[in-house]
Amino acid sequence: MSAYRRTLRPLAACTALCSFVIVFSSCGSSSPQATGTVVTAGNDAGPTVSARLEVADVPQAGGAALVNGSGDALYVFAPDHQRRVTCNAICVNSWPPLLVSSTSDVTSGPGVNRSLIGTVSYQDGARVVSYDGWPLYTYSSDRTPRIGSGQGVDLNGGYWYLVSPDGRPIVPTGDPQPTGPAS
């Protein structure tokens, strides 16, 4: 067998293996991709039908903080101070925004100031629920309700904070104070 043919066989095998890996690594993924897909916690097909905001005791907040209807802690992202979503692409894998079609799809429980609820534009026509102008997110590492393990985390280009019932980020002592949303 010639040296040329001995070189081609391993090269062909390597090419076939690489093609196999590329094709099958793109199949069956349920995690959001950085392709402009609208992302929601547990549903990457589009906005949720409705969302509920509630107030609950979250130990990492030192008391009351906003949670969703499932008890998941809600966060604000300091760079979102201009009333716009700056957490996109890879960021939404860890911090899924709370998506709805419109503000009328958001309900509230006791302790939530209904006048602070709104939405901000997102991709593909979806809306992110906002509170006092801050877009709201959950944190994928919070494994149980009413746990705020993302509190004060500096990740994806800024700090993440739990939200007080009055709409202010709950900032741990020593962390930089975020600028409030622009009016």
Q: How far apart are CA 58 and CA 67, in angstroms?
A: 9
Question: According to the model, what pLDDT value does residue 83 have?
Answer: 85
16-46 pLDDT, tens per residue? Answer: 433 333 333 333 333 332 222 233 333 344 5
Distance CA 147, CA 110 (A): 19
Task: Look at the block and give the residue holding tokens 């070189």.
Answer: 7
Distances (CA, A) of 129 to 15, 52, 64, 107, 134: 47, 10, 19, 11, 8
Of 115, 140, 121, 7, residue with least CA distance to 53:
115
Residues 76-86 have pLDDT tens digits of 999 998 788 99
- pLDDT value of position 171: 94
Answer whether 135's CB lies under 8 Å from 75's CB: no
Pick from 136, 114, 124: which is nearest to 181 by CA?
136
Q: What is the mean pLDDT of residues 61-83?
A: 94
Per-residue pLDDT averaged across 95-114, rounded? 95
Res. 183 pLDDT band, cuts 50 70 90? low
Given this model, what pLDDT does residue 145 score?
96
**Per residue in 115-126, pLDDT tens?**
999 999 998 888
Q: Where are the domains of the chain?
A: 51-170
138 has pLDDT over 60: yes
- Chain mean pLDDT for the chain: 79
Report the relative pairing of strands 63-68 and 75-77 from DSSP bridges: unpaired
